[in-house]
């Protein structure tokens, strides 16, 4: 059975809308009040960023193994989605941090490693942008896509490896999650909704990259035709060209 | 195997001979780094206790940021024709990269040795545990050089090489910077800097494996 990708946008919008609505209804945190509700977007954003960077790694390895353009497109599209959601997670964390911690930014291991992750993948996108030849671009970015992934587990385990202000894992941890179960249910709905949104964005970027490659090919073909014409003898208007 | 290491040493020797003739790392980048160390106190205030605290951190930050200029000089030294010649001669990409890394590590140690008296004179940092510095500096230099050759291979012959290279190197060099600054702090407070030295050595080993992997995969690029 062929996957129904046309259902992805309405499904993603619907689940994300339900998730955001549930976030408003969910009970506020006893200490932080309604500020805690930023978590319902902050956590899914960070989750999609991780997932996207895993896809960049898979795309990079896939390209190095199979040398097929679709793997390179997957890696590039996923990196763009990952950078967007990493930026969103950082911005939402800062908005939450100002009233709760008293500062927009603190030199916490999780925050610093996430910022580094953001810059590492910005470097990945910059590397793609400055490399013109498609095969060369795919090769260079595939190698960097593998090297850059080292940063992802460092970000995830930073709250375990170092003493940090950021809370340790509450859901992705061995044993029972250390979060109220109503809050956890709302968080899971948002995780599904935002994952679907991320998948939709990924698909759109993937298709756009394929169309850009088609456009590049068409322009290259046009240039070839022009080069072929240029070898004909130039004809000046009003002059005989047969002598 | 022995032949490959001889090739690696020959490439490193060639790179160092070119540097001796041009003097770019030690006669241009090192004074530039020293000027940066001179400017920082003017920006943050010339309070001696504050500068004593800032000194070691500033030293390693300048070494990292200006060291990138030393690292990226490799791609300006080698033309595409030279790289093709090496490939045609059967030199594996990883060996060529390791040769360049050895040369860059030697230059970074020399760069760090030139900056050390400058930071001692201008910032007067505590000199407790200075023997550790003799092991930390080569460790950081090796790590930066290995990271540098991977990044250098990725941006080689691109127009935006000089701007993109630092963006790829600096965020990934943070464990080396942390290891270097924290080992100095540990020594200053009477703790053992050994765990931080182990961190640097671990990063060096991971990067060594990355060079072997990238050298094989980027062989077609170079």
Handedness of CA A44, A47, A53, A59 (dihedral sign): negative
Q: Cα A83 to the chain's mean position, in Å?
A: 5
HSE, CB side, 13 Å, CA atoms: give it for residue B148: 30
Q: Which residues pair with A33 in a beta bridge?
A: A29
Angle at CA of residue B5, ends B202 and B111, nearest 5°: 55
pLDDT of residue A227: 57
What residue of A is the nearest CA neighbor of B153? Answer: A140
Whose tokens are 């100095």? That residue is: B184
Q: How many CB pairs under 8 A join A and B?
A: 53
pLDDT of residue A132: 85
pLDDT of residue B221: 46
Taking only the tens place, the pLDDT of each residue in B88-142 is 888 888 898 999 999 999 999 999 999 999 999 999 888 877 888 999 999 999 9
pTM, two decimals, is 0.83
Residue A75, CA distances (Å) to A137, B14, B15, B219 in order = 12, 38, 35, 21
Q: Using an 8 Å CB-CB cutoff, list chain B residues near A123.
A: 164, 167-168, 171
* Partner residue facing B167 (CB), from A112, A123, A136: A123
Percent of chain B with pLDDT over 70: 97
pLDDT of residue B222: 45
Q: DSSP secondary structure string, B97-142?
A: HHHHHHHHHHHHHHHHHHHHHHHHHHH----TTHHHHHHHHHHHHH
Q: Using an 8 Å CB-CB cutoff, list chain B residues near A140.
A: 154-155, 218, 221
Contact at 8 Å (CB) between B12 and B103?
Answer: yes
List, in order, residues 6 or more apart from A75 with CB less than 8 Å away: A55, A56, A57, A58, A59, A60, A62, A63, A141, A142, A145
SS3 A40: helix
Angle at CA of residue A114, ends A112 and A115, nearest 5°: 65
Q: Which of B68, B147, B154 to mutate to test the interface with A (most CBs of A within 10 A)?
A: B154
Q: Using an 8 Å CB-CB cutoff, list chain B residues near A86.
A: none
Helix (H) or strand (E) segment spanning residue A230? none
Measured torsion, CA atoms of residues B162, B168, B173, B174, in degrees rounded to the nearest 10:
120
Yes or no, beta carbons of A120 and B221 under 8 Å apart? no
pLDDT of residue B220: 53
Structure tokens at B202: 């671990």
| All structural domains of chain B with their residue ranges | 2-221
Percent of chain B with pLDDT over 90: 46
Contact at 8 Å (CB) between A24 and A189?
Answer: no
Handedness of CA B66, B70, B71, B72 (dihedral sign): positive
What are the backbone dihedrals phi and psi of residue B61, each rounded to the nearest 5 degrees, phi first?
-65, -45
Yes or no, beta carbons of A127 and B168 under 8 Å apart? yes
Contact at 8 Å (CB) between A179 and A187?
Answer: yes
Mean pLDDT of chain A: 86
CA distance B186 to chain A (A): 16
Measured torsion, CA atoms of residues B37, B40, B41, B42, in degrees rounded to the nearest 10:
120
**DSSP class of residue A167?**
P
* Spans of chain A, pLDDT less than 70: 1-2, 168-178, 224-243
Q: Which of B97, B149, B158, B171 to mutate to test the interface with A (most CBs of A within 10 A)?
A: B171
Q: Which residues of B173-211 are buried (b: 16+ CB within 10 A; e: fewer)?
A: bbbbbbbbbbbbbbbbeeeebeebbebbeebbebbbebb
In chain B the first and final C-alpha atoms are separated, in Å, by 22
Strands of chain B (E only): list them.
none
CA distance B117 to chain A (A): 30
Q: Which residues pair with A29 in a beta bridge?
A: A33
How many other C-beta atoms can be found within 10 angstroms of the C-beta atom of residue A217?
Answer: 11
pLDDT of residue A42: 93
Yes or no, beta carbons of B168 and A144 under 8 Å apart? yes
Whose tokens are 């106190």? That residue is: B41
Taking only the tens place, the pLDDT of each residue in B20-55 is 888 888 888 999 999 999 999 999 888 888 999 899
Contact at 8 Å (CB) between A114 and A89?
Answer: yes
* Partner residue facing A130 (CB), from B158, B206, B213: B158
In this prediction, residues B197-210 reach a mean pLDDT of 92
CA distance B20 to chain A (A): 31
Report which of B152, B174, B165, B169 is spatially closest to residue B221, judged by C-alpha positions: B152
CA distance B154 to chain A (A): 5
The Cα–Cα gap between A205 and A226 comes to: 31
Yes or no, beta carbons of B154 and A127 under 8 Å apart? yes
Mean pLDDT of chain B: 88
CA distance A91 to chain B (A): 19
User: Is the pLDDT reported for residue B3 higher than 60?
Assistant: yes
The Cα–Cα gap between B178 and B182 comes to: 6
């Amino acid at each position: 059975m062929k996957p129904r990708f046309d259902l992805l946008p309405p499904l993603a919008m619907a689940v994300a809308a339900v998730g955001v609505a549930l976030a408003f209804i969910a009970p506020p945190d006893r200490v932080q009040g309604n500020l805690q509700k930023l978590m319902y977007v902050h956590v899914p954003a960070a989750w999609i960023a991780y997932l996207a960077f895993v896809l960049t790694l898979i795309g990079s390895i896939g390209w190095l193994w199979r040398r097929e353009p679709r793997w390179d497109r997957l890696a590039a599209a996923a990196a763009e989605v990952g950078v967007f959601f990493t930026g969103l997670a950082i911005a939402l964390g800062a908005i939450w941090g100002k009233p709760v911690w008293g500062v927009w930014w603190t030199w916490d291991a999780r925050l610093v490693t996430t910022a580094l992750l953001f810059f590492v993948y910005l470097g990945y996108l910059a590397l793609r942008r400055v490399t013109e030849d498609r095969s060369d671009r795919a090769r260079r970015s595939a190698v960097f896509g593998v090297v850059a992934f080292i940063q992802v587990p460092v970000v995830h385990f930073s709250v375990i490896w170092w003493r940090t202000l950021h809370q340790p894992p509450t859901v992705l941890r061995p044993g029972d999650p250390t979060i109220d179960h109503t809050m956890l249910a709302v968080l899971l709905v948002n995780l599904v909704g935002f994952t679907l949104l991320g998948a939709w964005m990924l698909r759109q970027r993937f298709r756009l990259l394929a169309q850009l490659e088609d456009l590049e090919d068409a322009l290259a073909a046009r240039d070839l035709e022009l080069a072929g014409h240029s070898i004909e003898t130039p004809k000046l208007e009003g002059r005989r060209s047969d002598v | 195997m022995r032949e490959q290491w001889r090739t690696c040493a020959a490439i490193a020797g060639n790179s160092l001979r070119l540097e001796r003739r041009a003097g770019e790392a030690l006669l241009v980048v090192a004074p530039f780094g020293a000027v940066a160390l001179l400017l920082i106190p003017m920006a943050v205030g010339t309070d001696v206790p504050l500068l004593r605290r800032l000194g070691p951190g500033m030293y390693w930050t300048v070494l990292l940021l200006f060291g990138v200029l030393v690292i990226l000089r490799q791609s300006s030294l080698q033309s595409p024709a030279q790289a093709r010649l090496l490939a045609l001669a059967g030199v594996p990409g990883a060996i060529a990269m390791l040769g360049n890394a050895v040369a860059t590590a030697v230059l970074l140690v020399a760069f760090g040795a030139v900056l050390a008296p400058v930071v001692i004179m201008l910032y007067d940092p505590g000199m407790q545990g200075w023997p550790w510095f003799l092991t930390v500096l080569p460790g950081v230099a090796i790590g930066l050089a290995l990271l540098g050759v991977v990044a250098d291979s990725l941006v080689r012959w691109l127009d935006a090489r000089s701007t993109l290279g630092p963006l790829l190197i600096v965020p990934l060099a943070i464990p080396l910077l942390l290891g270097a600054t924290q080992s100095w702090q540990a020594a200053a407070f009477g703790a053992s800097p050994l765990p931080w030295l182990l961190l640097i050595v671990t990063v060096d080993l991971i990067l060594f494996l990355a060079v072997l992997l990238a050298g094989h995969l980027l062989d077609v690029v170079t």
